[in-house]
Amino acid sequence: MEPAEKQISVGEFTVNYASAGSGDPLVLIHGSEPGENWRVWEPLLALGDSRKLIIPDLLGHGRSTRTDETPGYKAQALMLRDFMDKLGIRSAALMGGGWGGQVALEVALQWPDSVSSLVLVASAYDTEQLPRLQKLRKPTLVIYAEDDMVTQLKAGYLLRDAIGTSRLEVLDSVARDPRYDFRMSHRLQKFRAPQVLQLARSFLSNPAGMIAEPPEVENELKGQALRKEDEKDGKIWKKG
């Protein structure tokens, strides 16, 4: 499937993007390395079998507007929100790789109604974001590799713990594979495409079903179950 490539004006910027497939929208957000653009997601275009893929070039990348300095993640998040509005996308799943995951997190934090779920592939984050993620409550799939030397696996656990409605999946090692340049090991969408594709498909088909309940909700549900058992066994009694 060869995506259609288009350009659209978003405020003062021109945003280049590719689109493919049909169904509920899925916005894929690439990382920050020089030369990265929407094509880093080509190994996962099969997601277009069940989703409408929207894949922009971030500002300063690909054929989108080039600025003197590449805008930071907050400015990129604002651009993405306006970009989605311009395309008439009220809510979408976001999938970000590396720095693109950090941008996706910021969109979800700033405009939660515009995000239905998140897939974070070896995602970066800002330490300022972590405490804010406790209130995110969006189904989130976090994917990391066992020994990723660019984006440390520890970051995957931190994101999992910060986002109560999340699930962490750890894939086989990438950085020690002699076929791959370790500096590029966080590009799991390329090096572990079949696994990432399978996980993303399963998650996007039923986001809430793949995540654990937040601990406080889980404990509350356990308490309700115990009370029901006690009521059934006639063990409920009242003071006085």
pLDDT at 5 > cutoff 50: yes
Q: Percent of the chain scored above 70 by pLDDT?
A: 81
**Model confidence at 27: pLDDT above 70:** yes
CATH topology of domain 4-211: Rossmann fold (3.40.50)
Query: How far apart, in Å, are the Cα atoms of 135 and each of 24, 56, 129, 200?
Result: 25, 27, 11, 23
Choose among 206, 198, 213: nearest CA to 24: 206
Q: Decide which of 184 and 218 is more confident.
A: 184
For residue 98 the two structure tokens come to 């590396």
Evaluate if residue 221 carries a pLDDT over 80: no
In 3D space, the residue among 119, 51, 33 whose CA is nearest the CA of residue 89 turns out to be 51
Look at residue 220 in the predicted model and tell me its pLDDT: 45
Q: How far apart, in whole angstroms, are the C-alpha atoms of residue 240 and residue 230? A: 19
pLDDT of amino acid 182: 57
Q: What is the pTM of this model?
A: 0.85
Domain ranges of the chain: 4-211
The rounded distance, in Å, linking the Cα atoms of 140 and 166 is 4
Span 140-194, pLDDT tens digits: 999 998 876 666 788 999 999 999 999 999 998 776 666 666 555 568 888 889 9
- Residues near 224 by beta carbon (within 8 Å), at least 6 away in sequence: none
User: What are the respective helix, strand and coil percentages of the chain, to the nearest 5?
Assistant: 40, 20, 35
Strand ranges (E), 46-137: 51-56, 92-97, 115-121
